[in-house]
Amino acid sequence: MVKMNIVIIAGSNRKSSTSTRLAGYSERLMGQKGHSVTLFDLYRSPLPFYSPDEYHQEHVELQVLKKSLVQADGIVLVTPEYHGSISGVLKNALDHLGQEHFNNKAVLSVSSSGGAVGVSSLTQLQAIVRNLHGINSPEWLSIGGAQRKWFETEGQDGYEIGQDINDRIHRVIGSFLDLTQLVRRESHAAGSISS
Ligand SMILES: Cc1cc2nc3c(=O)[nH]c(=O)nc-3n(C[C@H](O)[C@H](O)[C@H](O)COP(=O)(O)O)c2cc1C
């Protein structure tokens, strides 16, 4: 598999967030496969409130995020499930962005929820991706209920993750990377034909 640029946006505003830790785990996993992965943690690097009246050109983190997304081959969006939807900070970040960042890119949706699976937030996230002209990965990733305990503390050897969820994380990340490579190859081929 060729080396690809992957951008992860972790959409929690909580210091010990399990969704952000799952994002970090996914970052390491894709890094071990040889990809260049950039994680934007919206808790550590908060973005300004989106306003259609302001471009926030002076906001360094926002400009870095936008540039990284333009250069990305694939994007991972990670959210805690809040009131059957995505977090406010992730929605705010997405409002700063547009089709120029997502068009024809593979996008993986990931959530952490109190319930067993964050279906509502994931469904809504995929609808937003569709509106941004991204390509939803066929599988999504969710930790919920008791599964979150694995991401509550990190030991010296990393997280002690149950075999079933670990297998799922590997499978879902694998299918996302496969789709990212496929889309990347097709768009590069289309670019070389048209140029
Ligand atoms: C404001 C708020 C709303 C929530 N709404 C839901 C919900 O609708 N469904 C659900 O399953 N869990 C809900 N939860 C629980 C969170 O999804 C759960 O604690 C999740 O693991 C938080 O992710 P984090 O560890 O990344 O902060 C809610 C939590 C908060 C703080």
- Residue 143 reports pLDDT greater than 90: yes
Nearest CA, atom 20, ligand 1: 113
With beta carbons less than 8 A apart as the criterion, state whether 161 and 128 touch.
Answer: no
- Residue 133 reports pLDDT greater than 70: yes
Other CB atoms within 10 Å distance of the CB of residue 183: 17
pLDDT tens-digit map of 72-131: 999 999 999 999 999 999 999 999 999 999 999 999 999 999 998 889 999 999 999 999
CB neighbour burial string for 77-109, b if at least 16 within 10 angstroms, e if fewer: bbbbbbeebbbebbbbbbebbeeebbeebbbbb
Q: Which domains does the chain have, with CATH numbers?
A: 5-194 (3.40.50.360)
> Confidence class of residue 193 from pLDDT cuts 50, 70 and 90?
low
Check if 18 has its Cβ closer than 6 Å to any atom of ligand 1. Answer: yes
Instruction: Give 55 Cα–ligand 1 centroid separation in angstroms.
Output: 31
What crossing angle do the helices spanning 18-32 and 163-194 adopt, rounded to 10°? 60
Alpha-helical segments (H) within 11-162: 18-32, 60-71, 88-95, 99-102, 119-131
Check if 124 has its Cβ closer than 6 Å to any atom of ligand 1. Answer: no
